[in-house]
Each structure stands twice: as C-alpha cells, then as structure tokens.
Amino acid sequence: MIHLLEPLLRKPTRLGIGLISGTSVDGIDAALVRLTGFGADTRVETVAFRCDPWPGDLRARILACFDGHVSEVCRLNVDAACALADAAIAVASSANVEIADVDFVASHGQTVWHEPRSEGRSAATLQVGDGDFIAERTGCVAITDFRMRDIAAGGEGAPLVPFTDRLLFSQAGKRRVLANLGGIANLTVVDGDDPDALLAFDTGPANSLIDYAASLVRPDTGYDRDGALSKSGRIDDALLRELLADPYFDMPAPKSTGRERFGQALFAKVRASRPDIAPADLCATFAEFTVRTFVDAVRRFVGTNVDEVVVSGGGAHNPVLMEGIAAALAEWDTKPALRTTADYGIGIDAKEAIAFAIMGNETLHGRPGNLPAATGARRAVPLGKISLPGDYS
C-alpha cells in the first residue's frame, strides 16, 4: 500500500492542509498551503485559511472531557475527526479547490491531556481526531498523532512548531523570538547567524485562565474580545504574587506545560479562595500574569540580546497583552521590536496550522519534523502516523 504515496512524492508541488485546535479550544484552524521541496529547501505559499467553531456541542464536550470519562474520550476521538475532516473540506472549498485535488491532510487534532516528563517517567500526551476517519471522510492521505513519536524518542512531544519557526523566520543578522500566545504561551528563539542555537519552550499560560474568567461574563464567546474585560479590571496584586510563585517558572528550559497546570483546576482554586473577586479583575490579573511570565522567561532563559519578538496566536488580538509586552520590552537596553507574523505575510491565527502542513510534508518524505533542542528528544525523528485513503475491495 505504501506505493500509493509514490505519485504524491514525485509531484514538484503538493497541496496540503494543516489542521489544529489549540489549548483554548476556540475553533479548528485550517490552512491550505502549496508546498515545494522539503527540509531546508521547503517553500510554502498560503492558499487559504479559515477558523471554524467546533460544531454543535463539541467544544463543551471537549472542555468537559479534560476531567471526563474514558468513554467520552473514545467517542470524541471519532466526532472530533469528523469535524476536522469537514474543516479540511471547507478550507479547500473556500479556495475553489476540490478536496480530491488536495494531496494530504496533516492534523494535530485536539489535545485532551498532556503530561511533561517527570522523575523516572516519560512524557505522555493524547490528541483526539483519528486519522483513519479523516482519510475516509476526505479521500486524502492523512497524517496525525504528531507528538507521540517525539515522546517515544525521549522528548516531551512539545513544542513542535519551532521546526517551522526556524524554517520561515531564520534571517542573517537577526535574533528573533517567535511567540505563540494560544491557551498556553510558547516561544522559539531563532538566530539567523547560528541556526543550531535554537531554544524553544512553554513559558506558562497565555489565554487559558483569561478565557475561564471571561466565560463568567460572556459564556457565549468564552474569551475576552479585544481585551475589554482585562482593560476594565484592576490587578489583584496578592493573587498575582501567588500565581507567580508556581515552581514551573523556575524550571530550566526546554519544558512544556498545559491546561493540566494552568487550566480549570487552577481557575477553580482561585475562585474558591476569592469568591467575591470581579470577573474583570480576574481577567486583568491573569493578563498581567501572562505578560510577566512571558517577558520574564525571555529575559531569564533567552537574554535581552534580541532584535524582534514576533507574536502569533489569539493573544496577539488582545491589546492588553500586546501593550503589556511592548511596555516591558521598551525598558530593556536593546529595545527589541514587537511585531506579529502578519508583518511577514503569515496570518496571526494561521501559523500553527501551516506548521503542521509543513511537518506533514516532512513525514511523507521520511524526514524528521521535531527539533531535539526544543523537545528534549534523544534524536530527530519523523513524526505522525499515516492513514491511506482509497477503496481496496
């Protein structure tokens, strides 16, 4: 059956779709891209991008699943796959491309649990959205379950986007920090004069806690649109000090984290200890928490010798986060510029979906898609599992 991939690999260019739903669970990001070459010779063109909300009650079920029953995880693995496949079909249609003309779909899926390495134990992770269902529903080759192979090689399975950060943003004479502010904040350091000097890790929360607080006021959207709540609230200094005392921030990089640490359980603990605090004050405090931990992580683990900080993800739409980061960077002697990926032709919300399309292309060519300097793996390995479409009866 592997011979079915040969015609695809002989093509000078390939159409691929990258899919991801991040830790905010705010929708399915789908990017249709045209890819030429592979490895360092990869060239990528964004053909179309869209973000569709999870259909029906899927978002609520995913959020509940974080502390749910194994039967619901099993069911979501199928239902999420169908929604992801439909998102792939929709993004192709938005560009007037038939799904039959798409060469592959590379889907990260939806993380429902992630455990970093601990003493004597490997990392563990679980993403729902089965590749066989995506292949069957779209008729395309599907690449899924990207994180597990890195974990099998001794890594944390995260972050994986640094592979794309280095490919797209390495420029001679520039030392850049690529930041993605999703539910969790992560960064990649790319030095154009020393491509091997790469560092990437999760800095802590970005939107996860803000979203929970915003949901108290805006359950329909579940996030702080334009930072309005954060802007109107007052920072609770005592709460902020408690949050900043989490030992995660002193752990050496590379490291990874998720909602398991900075999600529902922590939010419930905060609410129980401060039942009378206003939701807007919670948003303001959590926003400052994100700004402080992100900027401090750059200063402590990367240093201030940085030319640019380039932001993507939902947090780039929040002026409170962006203005807070800009104000902190302005105090450094080096005064690095704060930009977004849109300044370089890559949509703020599209980068991670594009990244998985690129990693899927590498997988099809039998090439590694992880960077051990980012994940802590023993070696670079190809990522993901391939599901083949077709009728073999």
DSSP string covering 152-175, please? Answer: HTTS-S---THHHHHHHH--TT-E
Architecture label for domain 2-158+350-387: 2-Layer Sandwich (3.30)
> What are the residue ranges of CATH 3.30.420.40 in the chain?
2-158+350-387, 162-335
> What whole-number distance in Å separates Cα of residue 13 and Cα of residue 51?
25
pLDDT tens per residue across span 30-66: 999 999 999 989 999 999 999 999 999 998 898 888 7
pLDDT tens per residue across span 170-209: 999 999 999 999 999 999 999 988 877 889 999 999 999 9
> What whole-number distance in Å separates Cα of residue 361 and Cα of residue 376?
23
Torsion 259-261-263-265 (CA) sign:
positive
Burial class (CB in 10 A: 0-12, 13-18, 19+), 41: exposed
pLDDT tens per residue across span 104-124: 999 999 999 888 888 788 999
Homologous superfamily (CATH) for 162-335:
ATPase, nucleotide binding domain (3.30.420.40)
pLDDT band at 393 (very low <50, low <70, confident <90, very high): low
Rounded average pLDDT over 149-175:
93
> What whole-number distance in Å separates Cα of residue 67 and Cα of residue 11?
45
> What whole-number distance in Å separates Cα of residue 25 and Cα of residue 259?
11
Q: What is the pTM of this model?
A: 0.89
Looking at every residue in the chain, the average pLDDT score rounds to 93
Given strand 199-205, what is the order of strands in its sheet?
Answer: 199-205, 184-191, 175-181, 308-312, 337-340
